[in-house]
Amino acid sequence: MVYSCIEHIEEALEEVLEDDGPPPVMEEAQAGKACFICGGEAVYQVEAG
């Protein structure tokens, strides 16, 4: 599972995507979580499906 800001959502989806697996699940992130790339405020929580 990774947390992402709006600007890095594509990278987050690629990070959790598994070959031949179900699509990733994207939900609104809880307040206080940081983007896994830039450290900014995360808007999304992304995990493998």
Query: Which pLDDT belongs to residue 17?
Result: 94
Query: Which pLDDT belongs to residue 33?
Result: 98
Q: How many domains does the chain have?
A: 1
Query: Which pLDDT belongs to residue 24?
Result: 94
Mean pLDDT computed over 4-12: 98
Query: Which pLDDT belongs to residue 1?
Result: 96
Instruction: Provide the domain limits for residue 17.
Output: 2-47
Express each pLDDT in 14-40 by its tens digit: 999 998 889 999 999 999 999 999 999
Contact between 18 and 48 under an 8 Å Cβ cutoff? The reply is yes
Does the predicted model carry a pTM greater than 0.85? yes
